[in-house]
Structure formats: structure tokens, C-alpha cells
Amino acid sequence: MLNADLHCHSTISDGVLAPAELAARAKANGVEIWSLTDHDEVGGIAEARQTAASLGLRFVAGVEISVTWAGKTVHIVGLGIDENHPTLTAGLATVRGGRQLRAREIADQLQQAGIAGAFEGALEHASNPSMVGRTHFARYLVASGVRPSVAEVFRDFLVEGKPGFVPHRWATLDEAVGWIRAAGGHAVIAHPGRYPFTDLQRNALLDSFRALGGTGIEVITGSHTPDQYAEYARIARQAGLLASRGADFHGPGESRADLGSLPLLPANLPAIWQDW
Ligand code: AMP
Ligand code: MN
Ligand code: MN
Ligand code: MN
């Protein structure tokens, strides 16, 4: 089984390394097939592809699209996309559209919780201001001493029921899978173990996703526990979805898993890259 790492983030969205730095890190860590999957943005793909080529690292263009489904946020990864396809780029532009306004509302809530200057603070951590999001707020809260780590910020702030949570309407599932397919890509459900769904809802999500032409599901991801590796390997098989693997690396010292460092997919599990 290949050391495939098909999910990570650069400074184009909420990662801390530039696309070229990620490519070098993937190569150094022994990754054999690599994808950059920034949130709602493909602006890092050209640099990632070029650097990967210069390193002899197999590269797949990717993106991670924010979706609202059953009132919750779900992430859909697109792999093997033509990042310049107009349907995809126009769709992603609409998804990015509301982030600045949302950031103002997040900052207003944090202000009421006694944390000043969060809008400007978050922007300082966002290389790409149109992509400002919760991770940038979390880094500002760490830098200003409110909490010692990003993980602890996400325990006490920015999540449902805590200060700094602003419900947001992202793309629909139909749109996200449609844009990915229009761009010639494969749609993959990201970190399925993270969503607060009942079994019934999760099965409905899998059914709708497949009916729309989605083909993959992440099994090995930095968001899953080892128990969830086994659980989602079983679900992938049952649902007839191809398994994917990626660290969801955001930066050194911040992410649970480094590029290429997680266990490989089980050898007998059909992998999303098997026919590429
Ligand atoms: P946004 O798209 O602005 O809602 O931000 C979502 C991002 O926040 C995710 O892609 C993660 O990078 C980060 N995030 C969400 N929940 C957590 C968590 N519990 N711990 C660390 N990072 C998180
Ligand atoms: Mn992220
Ligand atoms: Mn995600
Ligand atoms: Mn991600």
C-alpha cells in the first residue's frame, strides 16, 4: 500500500507552511503520492505541483470544500481536480464570500467575552484575508495568552455553545460534489468520525453522497482515533466507497499527525488512488 497523504493545508487557507514547504516536508517524510487540499481555495496548487515535480513527488490537485448538511458543517475533499475549471472556481468563490462578515461576528462575540481586537488579530494570522476562519482566531487567542494551545481554544471558544461560534451557511452537498465532478475530480467525505450525527443521519449522508456521484471516504485521518480507523474501514466497505488517507496537517506542533506519518490503509481495502 502506497504512503499516500491526500489531505493538508497551506498558508493559502489555514495552514502555517507555504505549498512549497509542504511539498518538501511530504517528500522528506516518505510520502509517495501527495495532495494539497486547502479549504475552499485552489490558489496554492500551481506552486505545490511545481515543487512536487521538482522533487519527483507524485502530486494530485485537491481542495476541501465547506458544506452545510442537516444544519452541520461537513467537509468534502475533491481530488484530481482541474483547479482552473470555471464551475469549480466560481463555486469556491461563492463559498469564500461570507468569511469576512462571519469573522466580524466572531470577533464581536469574543469582545463580549472580554477578548479585544480579535478581528485584527485573526487577520494578522491569515495570509489570505478572504479565507479568515476559526483557526486564525484560535492562533490569535494562543498568541495573546488566552489559552496555551489551539486545541484548548477549540474546547472553550469558537464551537457550538461557546463564545465565538457563528453559524454559517456553506455550500450544499449537491453543489460541492457537483463542482468537484465538473472539474473532473473525485469527491471524498473528509474525517467522517468528526461529525455529530446519529447513525441514521450518517447513513443518510452516505446515501445522498453516493447518489450525487461521490466515490470516496477518509478512513485514516489525523481526526480519527485508531478505533475509528477500523470503524470507517468497515463503513467504507459496506457503503462501497473507496478509502482515502491524509494527515489533515495544518502545521508543526499544531496538528495531531504529520504528513505521511499515520498508519497505512489496510492492504485489502480498495483505495481512492488505485486506478490513478
Ligand atoms: P472554519 O472553516 O473557519 O470554520 O474553520 C474550520 C477549521 O478549524 C478546521 O479546518 C480546523 O482547521 C479547525 N478546527 C476545527 N475544530 C478544531 C479542533 N477541535 N481542534 C483544532 N482545530 C479545529
Ligand atoms: Mn483547517
Ligand atoms: Mn476538515
Ligand atoms: Mn482539512
Contacts of 127 (CB under 8 A, 6+ apart): 11, 12
Q: Strand 186-189 to strand 72-79: parallel, antiparallel, or no bridges (unpaired)?
A: antiparallel
CB atoms within 10 A of CB 124: 12
- The residue whose grid cell reads 457537483 is 178
pLDDT score, position 131: 97
Closest C-alpha to ligand 1, atom 9: 135
Residue 157, ligand 1, Cβ within 6 A? no
Distances (CA, A) of 129 to 52, 95, 99, 101, 183: 26, 14, 9, 12, 25
Q: Which of 62, 22, 28, 57 is nearest to 42 (CA)?
A: 62
Q: Is the pTM of this model over 0.75?
A: yes
Cα of 6 vs centre of ligand 4, distance in Å, is 10
Question: For 72-115, what is each residue's pLDDT tens digit?
Answer: 999 999 999 999 999 999 999 999 999 999 999 999 999 999 99
pLDDT score, position 17: 98
Cα of 165 vs centre of ligand 2, distance in Å, is 15
Q: Best mutation site among 154, 155, 249, 250 for ligand 1, i.e. most ligand atoms within 8 A of its Cβ?
A: 154
Contacts of 10 (CB under 8 A, 6+ apart): 17, 18, 19, 21, 22, 36, 38, 44, 48
Cα of 76 vs centre of ligand 3, distance in Å, is 8
Residues 94, 48: Cα–Cα separation, whole Å:
24
Question: Would you state the cell numbers that stand for residue 190, as one nine-digit string?
Answer: 473528509
Please report the DSSP string for 196-221 in residue order.
Answer: ---HHHHHHHHHHHHHTT--EEEEEE
Closest C-alpha to ligand 1, atom 6: 134
Sign of dihedral through CA atoms 86, 88, 94, 97? negative
Q: Which of 168, 142, 172 is nearest to 156 (CA)?
A: 142
Question: For 1-30, what is each residue's pLDDT tens digit?
Answer: 999 999 999 999 999 999 999 999 999 999
Residues 244, 167: Cα–Cα separation, whole Å:
29
Q: Which residues of the chain have pLDDT under 70?
A: none
Taking the CA of residue 14 as reference, the ligand 1 atom at the shortest distance is 12
